[in-house]
Chains A and B, each alone.
Chain A
Amino acid sequence: MADVMTESEADVAVVGGGPAGLHAALVLARGGLSVVLLDESDTLGGQYYKRRAEQLTAAFGDFRPRGTELIRQVRDSGVDCRTGTLVWGAEDGGRTLFTSDVRTGALGRINTRATLVATGAYERSLPFPGWTLPGVVTPGFALHLATMDRVPVGQRVVLAGTGPFLLPVACALLEVGARIEALVELNHPYRPGISSIGGALRQPARLAEAARYLLTLARHGVRVEQGSRVLAAHGDTQVTAVDIGHEDGGVWQLETDALCVGFGFRPSTELPRLLGCDTELDPTGTEQLPVVDADGATSVDGLYVAGDCAGIAGVHAAGVRGQLAAHAILRRLAPERARVRVADLRRRRARALDRFAELADRLYPLPTTADIPDATQVCRCEGVSAGEIREAAATGWNDLHGTKAATRAGMGPCQGRECGHIVAALAGRGEGTAECFAARMPIRPLPMAATIEGQEVQ
């Protein structure tokens, strides 16, 4: 192995350079530990503090300057920042990480004394007829194009799904000149009832933010349809029309250049699950989350998890949770430099933010998977339909893993990241536990050249 992998050492590895990872790395480095910060992307910042390319920043300005400042502080603090570095595997409770250079495929092994996983989240998609057509994308994709690249995903756009995230995406699209044909929200979050007011009082800032976005949409005359969902997307080589259904039974069709559909976020938990940490159901009942204490320590000694991969709670909670985990690691590895009282204050804040995440789950509940038509593809990679999955589950022989084996659902290049929660729901054996596909190495498809050629050189 030594011949194919470049070895390195650090006190702590932080996997993921988003808000949680950045805040954690800063605390750890300032605490005197050697820190390596790893991110698959070619820039730090993660999804929230993502970086506009230099050439575009010169023309369009800095995107989220707070992120720029945070990244500068992290670099100045002596953190070994390795972007373009995929962590594709791990063992020994996370004290050994296997990496691959995204550009060259070169392999590396990092040995640490503790590891913090801050791999964030990605968007939750739910299948419907036509969702694999080109032009059907996640809202995050449209946001990325609008904010980073200043490109509208289409001249005419339909936004759909559920969750507060649809609002800033809509506003970003308007800013780059797209026309939003409709914002189709599954739930009724924008007529707050009694149940949401208590939460709203706790987090007035978040609701004020939503109100600002809604005002912008109203000013642009954007049609906001609540209690509605996408029934199907149509098109030959790309999407051209969308069927929308209202819960009262009404159905109408919109012509569009692009359809963005998302149902909130899913935590990226592959690494902690690969390392065998205990998991539990998240509040939506659809995800297995690493079990963590208030500092982000998992059941695996020396392995910590912070940010959205420990449960969706947004950027502010992510930063705080990253710092809390870093303080916990400091207490462990450099007790003389740990600042315990600060951590206590921050722990209270993290709890408050977690409560807001629970509120979001109440306002934006997920739809059932029961009405996904049999003919609809669930696994995009392997082209497996809901009917095939149901049929495999109906034999009574198959649990989730057996269903995967029987249908190939989840065996494609995305490793079941897009379809795993759906297959689990369709194949569930109904004991109140959402299973999930086993996390397997490599976490992303890994070029084999380095392994093979490395050995040749020997």
Chain B
Amino acid sequence: MTQPDVVVIGAGILGASAAFHLAERGYRVVVLERGAPNREGSGTTAGNLHIQAIHTRRPGQEVPVDSARLLPLQRRASDHWSQIEERLGADVELRRGGGFMVAETADQEEELREKHEWERRAGIPTEVLTGDEARKQLPLLSDRVRAASWCSLDGYANPLLITPAYLAAARRLGVEVHAFTPVTGIQQVGDDYKVLSGDRSWTAPVVVNVAGPWITEISALAGIQIRMSPVAIQMHVTVRVPPVMHHLVQHIGEGMSVKQVSAGNLLIGGGWPAAALDMAGRSTVSVPSMAGNLAQAGRILPFLGELRLLRMWAGPLAATPDEMPVIGEVPGHPGFFVAGGTYAFTLAPVWGDTLARQIAGEAPADPVDDLGPGRLLHDDATTPVSP
């Protein structure tokens, strides 16, 4: 297929989701991936499904996330994820065991209550529990937990399964996936884009750039300057242990997420910065981040001290300068779409659906005009996305 309807660049979770949602609508789609699918941020992320409002900063993050803004999208994502295994015909180790977001201080508890009010307005069911109430549900929580907000919709899915499941479903619908096919050029040919990889090419009226940390590079091939601020964050995983908890545990004041995955390993993350982002190879982990993340997780869940750390790794996060997601058609470049940015894992089904609707000329299920790529264009006097 050299003349598809859509060329998707990047076979991470967003590319896979976009391809699937487009194919469901009957579009002929080609997915081009520079390496193996799901290798970068999508395959190295924690796999959390954040339905309650997220904490606003990773450790070291300068600009806070406007978490209230994202809540309608998280509500939508929750509905998508509830149906995803059935829709894709695959087991992606989806677990909706609910999640705690804990507070250790009075200020943090106040933040929980404020966030609970946002969630109530967005139709996301949460409740604020006292420390004792939370410990009654999850006795592994330490006495340091003063309060916790509880959301029964939080959970996780295996990031190593969901993207391949999307791709497999997309292939069943006729999508072509070309791995190890780096895009080397994008030419405007009439109203179409000719996407080149070496001496191969595909020509289509629509290009979807979901290349994660490489969004800037890929856009530049089409003469579009999009500012991104990719970083590398790190994850930690323990050896397998018998089932001890089925909740997602996060911290309102600090980047922290802990859960036990289906295989039995405890996965500890929270967006702690890796030592270095290496776009050409493997990003390197930071031992101070390891120590900080484990100490903090152990403070909230002391049983972690009995476990052994099996492995840690760093992966890219395609952050934007304002830390908000980016999605939509690039102003002045009809047919050239971009999607990426923070919390892409949770939002992947929403972004796939949103892209498909936008490409079809329909309104998205939830408005996303404020998240469009226009604000990230170099030659554009950007306006802050936050109200």
- A interface, CB within 8 angstroms of B: 1, 4-5, 89, 91, 98, 396-399, 401-402, 405-406, 408, 411-413, 415, 438, 440-442, 445-449, 451-456
Contact = CB atoms under 8 A, between A and B. Distances in A.
A48 B312 CA distance: 32
A445 B265 CA distance: 12
A449 B38 contact: no
B37 interface: yes
The 3 closest A-B pairs by CB, nearest first: A452-B298, A455-B295, A402-B36
Given A396-B179, A413-B239, A415-B311, A452 B287 contact: no
Contacts of B202: none
Contacts of A405: 38-39, 43, 160
A4 B292 CA distance: 10
Instruction: Say whether chain B's binding surface is mostly helix, strand, loop, or mixed.
Output: mixed
B231 to A, nearest CB: 18
Nearest to A439: B282
A1 B288 contact: yes
B308 A448 contact: yes
A446 B268 CA distance: 14
A441 B312 contact: yes
Given A397-B179, A402-B36, A452 B308 contact: no
Interface in B23-38: 33, 35-38
Interface of B: 11, 33, 35-39, 43, 160, 164, 167, 177, 179-180, 238-240, 263, 275, 282, 284-285, 287-288, 290-291, 294-299, 302, 304-313
B160 A448 contact: no
A91 B287 contact: yes
Nearest to A397: B179
Contacts of B11: 397
A451 B291 contact: yes
30 contacts: A1-B288, A1-B291, A4-B295, A91-B284, A91-B287, A397-B164, A397-B177, A397-B179, A399-B39, A405-B39, A408-B160, A413-B310, A438-B282, A440-B311, A440-B312, A442-B310, A445-B239, A445-B308, A445-B309, A448-B238, A448-B294, A448-B304, A449-B306, A451-B309, A452-B295, A452-B305, A453-B305, A454-B291, A455-B294, A456-B298
B298 A455 contact: yes
Contacts of B311: 411, 415, 440-442
Contacts of B38: 402, 405
A398 B239 CA distance: 25
A420 B138 CA distance: 38
Contacts of B239: 413, 445
A442 B312 contact: yes
B299 A441 contact: no
A1 B287 contact: yes
B307 A448 contact: yes
Contact of B36 (A401, A445, A455): A401
Contact of A406 (B160, B310, B313): B160
